Amino acid sequence: MANYYVARTAQAIFTLFAVVTFSFGLIRLMPGGPMDYVRAQLQQETGNVNQAQINAMVEVYTNVQPDAPLYEQYINYLFDIVQGDFGVSMWYGESVSGILAAAVPWTVFVMAISLALTFGIGISLGAVMAYAEGSRFDTVSTLCSIVLNSVPYYVAAIVLVYFLGYEWGMFPIGGRISSDVTRGLNPEFVASAAYHAALPIASFVLTAFGIQALAMRGNSIRVLGEDYLRVARLRGLPPHKIAFRYIGRNAILPMYTGFMISIGFMFGGSVILEEIFSYPGVGYYMFRGIQARDYPLMMGAFILITFAVVVGIYVADLTYGRIDPRAGSGGGDREAY
């Protein structure tokens, strides 16, 4: 078991290390890439400035010192990233770390509610579908789940923002809160934040709960056929106890890994979604960085999103064996794998 944890930890660290190395290579070694672009922009904006001053300004923006040896640049870049220093945004003129730190809570807010609703609705609907297997309700629900799951979330986002935002004016089409709302933990602020996040959340939930419902249905039907349920019924256990302790618990367990992985991958999905709704989160700023060729901001958001994905998978991998002892974390099957 200890070897399994060490191996998974090493894999996660290596993945993050590889991503940071890739970002350094993109910034420093790519011909016509960020370093050359930043240098050209600064020379154009500042006019007659000597090369030493240009190099110093490039270092401020990219965390890479152009006139230092390559290995020294790489080591300094690693230390800066570990300390959370991603440079300065060329477009906003602010620290990338500060921009992303202000954006992360809003992305987490939308993603957390989306995940909770997606899995809550999916698990509840899937359990009912399993109990009503073969009925009209089961057939209609299965068909709706398949159809909705086949629709990309960004297509649903465009449809929602067009009709509910532009055409009918029921929801705002941009921003995180209303301009006249005082920031703070007060009812007006919370209500405004929820109102502005409603359409992004709906886009995720409508296109994602179906796959969770189908997974829960399949797991529940499989559990319903287990021998220990027959024994539980013969022992005279009440139906609600059988439903929650035996069926629900064992059917939900296989979905835990998918839930943890979804936490990370929803950060990646936020890039397009937040741009569609002009919702200033991590994905929004990454898209802005791409559009403006703001490489420090783009790479900072890229590293942050990758970190979220890796951590989600890592936590799921380490904790699933404790959530479900049958998985035997670090046991024979996994060791063989």
- Domain presence at residue 91: no
Q: Span 11-32, mean pLDDT?
A: 77
pLDDT digits (tens, 9 = 90+) for 204-221: 999 999 999 998 888 888
331 pLDDT exceeds 50? Answer: no
- Domain presence at residue 13: yes
- Domain presence at residue 299: yes
Instruction: Yes or no: say if 210 and 145 are a contact pair by the CB < 8 Å rule.
Output: yes
Same domain, 159 and 229: yes
Same domain, 50 and 160: no
Same domain, 295 and 189: yes
Same domain, 57 and 153: no
243 pLDDT exceeds 70? Answer: no
- Domain presence at residue 109: yes
Instruction: Yes or no: say if 177 and 193 are a contact pair by the CB < 8 Å rule.
Output: yes
Query: Looking at residue 332, what is its pLDDT?
Result: 44
**Structurally, how many domains does the chain consist of?**
2
pLDDT digits (tens, 9 = 90+) for 42-55: 667 666 556 666 66
Same domain, 70 and 171: no
CA 336 to chain centre: 30
- Domain presence at residue 198: yes
Question: Structural domain of residue 307, as residue ranges?
Answer: 96-336
Same domain, 141 and 6: no
pLDDT digits (tens, 9 = 90+) for 56-97: 776 777 677 667 777 887 888 888 888 888 888 877 888 889
Which positions ≥6 away from 43 have C-beta within 8 Å? Answer: 49, 54
Same domain, 115 and 144: yes
pLDDT digits (tens, 9 = 90+) for 256-296: 777 777 776 777 778 888 889 989 888 899 888 888 777 78
Query: Looking at residue 330, what is its pLDDT?
Result: 46
Within 10 A of 194 (CB to CB), how many other CB atoms are there?
A: 13
Q: Span 105-129, mean pLDDT?
A: 89
- Domain presence at residue 87: no
Same domain, 76 and 100: no
327 pLDDT exceeds 60? Answer: no
With the C-alpha atoms ordered 179, 182, 108, 100, is the resulting torsion angle positive or negative?
positive
Torsion angle, CA of 303/309/311/313, rounded to 10 degrees? Answer: -150
pTM summary value: 0.79
Torsion angle, CA of 130/133/135/138, rounded to 10 degrees? Answer: 40
